Amino acid sequence: MTAGEDRASRTEDTRRRTEDGRQRNVEGAFPSSVRRCRSSGFLPLWAGLMILGLAVVVVVLLGLLGISILERRWETQRPPVVVRPLQQWEPNNAVWGEDYPREYESYLRTRITDTRTKYGGSYPRDYLDIDPQEVILFAGYGFSKDYLQARGHYFAVQDVTKTARLIRPFNAATCWTCKSTDVPRLMDQMGVKEFYAANFHDLTKEVTHPIGCQDCHDPQTLKLRITRPALQEAFVAMGRNINEATHQEMRSLVCAQCHVEYYFRTDAKAGLKNYLVFPWAKGTALEEILAYYDALEYSDYVHAISGTPIVKMQHPDYELYLTGIHSYRNVSCADCHMPYRTEGGVKYTDHHVQSPLLNIANSCAVCHRWGEDEIRTRVEGIQTKVETARLAAEEALVRAHFDLAATLQAGASAQDLTEARRLVRRGQIRWDFIASNNGMGFHSPQESMRLLGEAANLAQQARVEAARLLAKRGITDPPKYPDISTRQKASEVAQAFVAGQGTKLLP
Ligand code: HEC
Ligand code: HEC
Ligand code: HEC
Ligand code: HEC
């Protein structure tokens, strides 16, 4: 049942219940003889009409109440109760927790690390072990060495410190931006530009508190607020003002401070080093993001096998969500990931941000009257289809990288490969837009399938182009593709290319 039908049927239920109730009251109040009397004209017409009128008003009011509960208008317009104003940049979640124990205790549950769902949950899943094709797609870049699934917010500082040790050089303080409540304080002290330009390792002692209260709330009023300048600036670049966002939009925008695509801008003339920018000036759709990067001739790395300049996507969760049905119907990130909970008669927002599949009853089932198993099956059904399309796109892209390398081994020049590399760049960014997204496409199934389909198509076009270049040189057999069936084998192949000693691919 869709939520629309759901709402209609609930209104219908309410109406039916109301009428049953009225009937019961009537039956309880009058003995059957009186009822017979009344039905034969005991009450004057005006009284009957008045009762009817009242009944209509009651039914309409109950209907409206039902709708407003469904849309959670009451909850979302409820101002938070401020116990006492906190210090402006208070980074310590435990201090906030003294006044808001329920929110704090539920927040602390983001420490749980042993939950798993088919494609998500909170345990250290290593994407490269599961899918060695990604080692090839990121050849020449850090992600080909280490790519772990995200964990709860509580671990953000710990996990980025570990990654920093693994992937060197990793010196931009900018990497702290989405990890800690100490960031707004440091930006205020140091200046935003100066914060970004600092060395990551120099701030290790300053940045200790993981993502928390300060990141999303005003310490004086507890209202939701945006603390990260990159999001404010991205709105300005789009000609919008984030201060005009509705309360319901804020319930997603607090997440969009971090769960987005971004890059570090360095521009000596403008005095910027590693300045955090969301590439939204032309819009948030993939095509608009790519047009933005193309105009800057931006790339994160040159692919070690095909020589293609690649833009690595980070995790454009918010951008993909914007293209989906829930965003269209004004359902926010918090509606699914921070649903309401009741404890001892007190209703509060569950701050255990996690996979909603671990909490279906409080998240999805509030709006969808499908059974829990059915909800899980529907989500997994969507995700499995997206995964299939994703693996197909990967296979085509991996082949494309090798095909381009084969043409180089056959003596093709960089000039010859311009068009083929352009196709691979456009294909890989589409694949990565979905692959790097959390939720395996659930946030927008149609957009996910569209982009993965285009990714495969662009990769195949690049392969046709490569085949043409090989044929020109008298080679008509397909290249010999190396074995990349395990992470180990794929890493050896990638590293050989990085070292300039790639496997011989020509037949
Ligand atoms: C309609 C409900 C819904 C909305 C709205 C929603 N999500 Fe999700 N989200 C899901 C589901 C379902 C999953 C898949 C969870 C899984 O596979 O275990 C998911 C997965 C995720 C994950 C990965 C979690 C994990 O355990 O793997 C992240 C991160 C995430 N969403 C962030 C967001 C952000 C940020 C927004 C808003 C921009 C958002 N979501 C909006 C339902 C939603
Ligand atoms: C990722 C963003 C985020 C973080 C981090 C966060 N909150 Fe919230 N908080 C929200 C959202 C969203 C709501 C719902 C607010 C609304 O709709 O008005 C909320 C609501 C609240 C409320 C209002 C009462 C309620 O439960 O609905 C309190 C109090 C609160 N949070 C305290 C905290 C405390 C204490 C922390 C740190 C331990 C914290 N929050 C961390 C996003 C966040
Ligand atoms: C200050 C930056 C920041 C904000 C704000 C933020 N997140 Fe996150 N989120 C992260 C980072 C970083 C991780 C990965 C942490 C790790 O793996 O150590 C993460 C992880 C997650 C996960 C995975 C947790 C798990 O157990 O699988 C979910 C789900 C999620 N965030 C949803 C949200 C939602 C919904 C919001 C808004 C209500 C939000 N986040 C706000 C930075 C942020
Ligand atoms: C606040 C209400 C709300 C919440 C919470 C919510 N949804 Fe929805 N969902 C909607 C609305 C509204 C639609 C659009 C229905 C329509 O327009 O017919 C929708 C549509 C869908 C659809 C597409 C239905 C179809 O027939 O195409 C799926 C699947 C879905 N939701 C799954 C989920 C899951 C899974 C969750 C929990 C992770 C969830 N929803 C949470 C309101 C919600």
Task: Give 213 Cα–ligand 2 centroid separation in angstroms.
Answer: 7
Task: Give 153 Cα–ligand 3 centroid separation in angstroms.
Answer: 5
CB contact at 8 A, 47 and 107: no
Residue 417 Cβ inside 6 Å of ligand 4? The answer reads no
Query: What is the rounded distance in angstroms from the CA atom of residue 260 to the CA atom of residue 435?
Result: 13
pLDDT at residue 427, rounded to an integer: 98
Check pLDDT > 60 for residue 20: no
Q: What is the mean pLDDT of residues 487-499?
A: 95
Check pLDDT > 50 for residue 1: no
Confidence band of 21 (pLDDT split at 50, 70, 90): very low
Q: Where are the domains of the chain?
A: 3-70, 373-498
Query: What is the rounded distance in angstroms from the CA atom of residue 410 to the CA atom of residue 111?
Result: 53
Query: What is the rounded distance in angstroms from the CA atom of residue 139 to the CA atom of residue 132?
Result: 11
Confidence band of 166 (pLDDT split at 50, 70, 90): low
Phi and psi at 452, nearest 5°, equal: -70, -35
Residue 7 Cβ inside 6 Å of ligand 4? The answer reads no
Query: Per this entry, what is the length of the chain?
Result: 507
User: Kindly report the CA angle at 225 between 222 and 229, in degrees rounded to 5?
Assistant: 145
The pTM score is 0.88
Give the largest Cα separation in the chain, rounded. Answer: 104
Query: What is the rounded distance in angstroms from the CA atom of residue 355 to the CA atom of residue 337?
Result: 7
Query: What is the rounded distance in angstroms from the CA atom of residue 338 to the CA atom of residue 362?
Result: 9
Residue 207 Cβ inside 6 Å of ligand 3? The answer reads no
Q: What is the mean pLDDT of residues 25-30?
A: 35
Task: Give 326 Cα–ligand 1 centroid separation in angstroms.
Answer: 11
Confidence band of 44 (pLDDT split at 50, 70, 90): confident
pLDDT at residue 66, rounded to an integer: 57
Burial of 348 (0-12, 13-18, 19+ CB in 10 A): middle
Task: Give 85 Cα–ligand 1 centroid separation in angstroms.
Answer: 32
pLDDT at residue 279, rounded to an integer: 98
Task: Give 222 Cα–ligand 2 centroid separation in angstroms.
Answer: 8
Check pLDDT > 80 for residue 15: no
Q: What is the token pair recorded at 139? A: 């050849």
pLDDT at residue 421, rounded to an integer: 98
| Nearest 10 degrees: Cα torsion 241, 247, 251, 257 | 20
Check pLDDT > 90 for residue 483: yes
| Nearest to 312, CA basis, from 176, 171, 141 | 141
CB contact at 8 A, 310 and 427: no
- Mutate which of 2, 118, 252 for ligand 4 pocket (most atoms within 8 A of beta carbon): 2
Residue 179 Cβ inside 6 Å of ligand 3? The answer reads yes
Check pLDDT > 70 for residue 343: yes
For residue 71, the ligand 4 atom closest to its alpha carbon is: 1
Task: Give 384 Cα–ligand 3 centroid separation in angstroms.
Answer: 23
User: Kindly report the CA angle at 277 between 275 and 280, in degrees rounded to 5?
Assistant: 165
For residue 322, the ligand 1 atom closest to its alpha carbon is: 38
Residues whose CB is less than 8 angstroms from the CB of residue 269 and which lie 6 or more positions away in sequence, other chains included = none
Confidence band of 78 (pLDDT split at 50, 70, 90): low
pLDDT at residue 168, rounded to an integer: 56
Query: What is the rounded distance in angstroms from the CA atom of residue 319 to the CA atom of residue 443?
Result: 10
pLDDT at residue 51, rounded to an integer: 81
pLDDT at residue 251, rounded to an integer: 98
Task: Give 100 Cα–ligand 2 centroid separation in angstroms.
Answer: 9
Which range is least confidently modeled, 66-70, 174-178, 236-240, 274-278?
A: 66-70
Query: What is the rounded distance in angstroms from the CA atom of residue 316 to the CA atom of residue 431?
Result: 12
Check pLDDT > 60 for residue 28: no
| Nearest to 353, CA basis, from 122, 178, 70, 75 | 122
pLDDT at residue 62, rounded to an integer: 72
For residue 120, the ligand 3 atom closest to its alpha carbon is: 27
pLDDT at residue 48, rounded to an integer: 77
pLDDT at residue 125, rounded to an integer: 80
Tens digits of residue pLDDT in 422-474: 999 999 999 999 999 999 999 999 999 999 999 999 999 999 999 999 999 99
pLDDT at residue 45, rounded to an integer: 80
List the residue whose alpha carbon is closest to atom 19 of ligand 3.
Answer: 153
Above pLDDT 90, what percent of the chain?
A: 76
CATH topology of domain 373-498: Butyryl-CoA Dehydrogenase, subunit A; domain 3 (1.20.140)
Confidence band of 210 (pLDDT split at 50, 70, 90): very high
- Mutate which of 213, 215, 222, 331 for ligand 2 pocket (most atoms within 8 A of beta carbon): 213
pLDDT at residue 129, rounded to an integer: 86
Q: What is the token pair recorded at 366? A: 């509030």
Check pLDDT > 60 for residue 258: yes
